[in-house]
Structure 1
Amino acid sequence: MKVALIICTYQRPIPIVTLLHSVKKQTRQPDRIIIVDGSLDNASELTLQKENFQDVSYYRVNAEQRGLTKQRNYGIDKVNDAIDIVCFLDDDTVLEPMYFEALIDTYKVHPEALGVGGYIINEINWKKVDTSFKPTIHQFLYDGYVRSDGSRFVLRKKLGLDADRQPGFLPTFSHGRSVSFLPPSGKTYQVEQFMGGVASYRLSALRSQRFSEYFEGYGLYEDADFTLRLSKKGALYVNTNAQLHHYHDPDGRPNKFSYGKMVIRNGWYIWRVRYPNPKWIARIKWNATAALLTLIRFTNVLTKNKKIRTEAFTEASGRVAGWFSLLVNKPKIKDE
């Protein structure tokens, strides 16, 4: 299989170089690397020139093409038809040496797969347990592994608002558990959504479906939108052997008010992509969960240091603004 790697970047010259060094150490090299840079300056371009990476195609886009989904679509247009699989990586990730090899093997084992996601290993501490293990309310057990459950999920359990589908599948009231709740078992799991910054797709799937440009700029939940739409056409998987690290570089992220507003509005959007006409109980639970998570974010103002207090209040205020905006201006679902 011929493999292309597309890296969309914005204001992160150092992380993208770190990522490319990890790509050079792969047991299976991509056949082509495309960098789509939406930065406001040329720092990334100059840094890449100094490193002199071979076989890297660099494109710096203008304001009209800037934004995660626009940059991804731009990169796809630069891929020729000889490519079979297109991989996407966030610019602040670092790969384990067998990342691409494990991804490609998944397509061989599951030839029906339209997409395969990778697996982040540096964010969650899991523990393997035996079949007799009984988790507490503060723990999450899945497929023989246990991890701590965050305070948000603990409270949701107590209120009957916990996700009622397995990780990687969206409940009827949304607010599900992401693929980060899949354990490091070495298995491949079928899902209906995975993270866009550690993703791969068949080129044929990308030719038939575009990334929605509704998700302007930072593009929160664009990956959920794309994979939920694609899963209606065919199978998606996450291979826990395709491992990498994600370091969440702070540069290039939106302000907290805008982020909070996106959490609500974009969250509503992807919920309706999956469930266009939810039942009333699902509507009640979506709003109840959104309200609960906003309230929890407000309580962080009382419990964290000064910087975190400010960020928590600003983000929570953005969530409230996003919530009320749905009353007068709901997003229009685009089928791209």
Structure 2
Amino acid sequence: MNIKTAWVVPTLNRPKDIERLFNSYLKQTVKPDKVIVIDGSKDEETKMVCEKFQAQIKNLIYEHTTKLGSVTQRLLAFKYLKDIDYALFLDDDFELNDNAFEILLGKIRTLPPKTCLELNFKTISYGSEIQKLGSSKFFNFFKKIFFLPHESTEKKVLPSGGNTWLNEYELIVKDELKKVGWLSGCCMFLPVKPLLEKPDYFFNEDMQRFSGYALGEDVYLSVQLAKEGYKFYRVMNAWGIHHKAPSARPDLEKLMAAKVFNQKQIFKILKNKNHIFFFISLCGNFFLSFISCLFTKSLSPLKGVLKGIWFSFHFEKLYSHTRYKN
């Protein structure tokens, strides 16, 4: 069975990351039919990197845009996917192991049509101290109690609209498929046809309300795909490295606002809603923001939570296909 594939990479001011991703492309034993880069950078450094690799990546498509936001930039790539069967959506700071794409493609050929895959990956975090504090065992236990997003032994969507994820700082490589409850946006391999039929149903631009950083947009997409009958798996022997840089995230106020607002967007589309779980998570976010205020000696986290709550309950549709500003 001949499957036409593409890589879709939204990027913003990350030329060195794009170069690393391209170098990992060159090492792939099987390559996609297209590589699509949607660049929102103000300068031309990323464009220059693409021009540098154009001779080696002949199927490279580069587009510059002023419409910023990771969801919007992915949607802009859809016009290049009309002849594509499966697309691997990648973050610009992702790096694939040499034969990762060949393994991924081999697996999808053997699975039922309504299947989506993700790469196995390890995260190298260059985050701030407050981000490291937030990933500590104490805070993880705290988040678990309040149905907030947290690390777990399984990857699932919570009844509050939050989610759990696997340990991202260790890499266990083995030849198996691990069933997961949602797909990571940094490396998700999706069938293109349903996305083209209902793009706004799957890719919610409201998720990037705060500074264009679309926290949880992958969970939202996964919930919508699951309602359509799709199953999700992590391919444990097709792996990569996610070089998570601090520049990818907004400041604490916007980050906390996005956490609250975006979780509400996910909660609204869950099949079995129970508002008590969302209310408990709101209480947890208040406590978490208060502790963050003490640690940072700033009111930004608390202001962010209040801002997220206000937008959650006062705005249903804030914009569509526009530049996102506060």
Normalised by the size of structure 2, how large is the TM-score? 0.80
Q: Determine helix, strand or coil for the equivalent of 2:36.
A: strand
CA distance in 2, matches of 1:222, 1:280: 21
- Counterpart of 1:10, as a letter, is L
Q: Which residue of structure 1 lines up, in the alignment, with residue 128 of structure 2?
A: none
Distance 1:333 1:194, change over 3 A: farther
CA distance in 2, matches of 1:249, 1:149: 18
Distance 1:283 1:68, change over 3 A: closer
Which residue of 59, 64, 82 corresponds with 2:62? 59
Q: Is the contact made by 1:167 and 1:176 (CA closer than 8 Å) also made in structure 2? A: no
Distance 1:318 1:160, change over 3 A: closer
What are the superposed Cα offsets for residues 12-55 of structure 1, whole Å, 9 maximum, x if unpaired?
A: 11110111101110122112111111112211112322344422
CA distance in 1, matches of 2:309, 2:19: 39
CA distance in 2, matches of 1:71, 1:162: 28
Distance 1:299 1:119, change over 3 A: farther
Distance 1:333 1:46, change over 3 A: closer
Are 2:186 and 1:190 equivalent residues in the alignment? no
Q: Is the contact made by 1:2 and 1:31 (CA closer than 8 Å) also made in structure 2? A: yes
CA distance in 1, matches of 2:78, 2:32: 15
| Aligned-pair CA distance for 1:330 | 4.7
Q: Is the contact made by 1:8 and 1:91 (CA closer than 8 Å) also made in structure 2? A: yes
Are 2:14 and 1:9 equivalent residues in the alignment? no
Q: Which residue of structure 2 lines up, in the alignment, with residue 171 of structure 1?
A: 158
- Counterpart of 1:29, as a letter, is K
- Counterpart of 1:223, as a letter, is D
CA distance in 2, matches of 1:66, 1:122: 25
Q: Mean alpha-carbon deviation: is it higher for 20-29 or for 200-209?
A: 200-209
Distance 1:316 1:57, change over 3 A: farther
| Aligned-pair CA distance for 1:163 | 7.9
Which residue of 47, 50, 65 corresponds with 2:49? 47
Q: Mean alpha-carbon deviation: is it higher for 241-250 or for 179-188?
A: 179-188
**Equivalent runs, 1:1-336 vs 2, <5 Å:** 1-52=3-54, 53-63=56-66, 65-81=67-83, 83-123=84-124, 150-156=137-143, 159=145, 167-180=154-167, 184=172, 186=174, 187-210=176-199, 211-216=203-208, 217-233=212-228, 234-251=230-247, 253-275=249-271, 278-301=273-296, 314-327=300-313, 329-332=314-317
Distance 1:42 1:252, change over 3 A: farther
| Aligned-pair CA distance for 1:120 | 1.5
| Aligned-pair CA distance for 1:323 | 2.8
Q: What is the aligned-residue RMSD (CA, Å)?
A: 3.0
| Aligned-pair CA distance for 1:269 | 1.1
Q: Is the contact made by 2:147 and 2:277 (CA closer than 8 Å) also made in structure 1? A: no
Q: Which residue of structure 1 lines up, in the alignment, with residue 129 of structure 2?
A: none
Identity %: 22
Distance 1:227 1:280, change over 3 A: closer
Normalised by the size of structure 1, how large is the TM-score? 0.78
Report which of the two structures shows the higher radius of gyration computed on alpha carbons. Answer: 1
Aligned residues: 297
| Aligned-pair CA distance for 1:162 | 7.8
- Counterpart of 2:309, as a letter, is W
CA distance in 1, matches of 2:153, 2:114: 19
Gaps of 5+ in 1: 125-147, 302-308
- Counterpart of 1:270, as a letter, is I
Q: Determine helix, strand or coil for the equivalent of 1:298.
A: helix
Q: Mean alpha-carbon deviation: is it higher for 42-51 or for 27-36?
A: 42-51
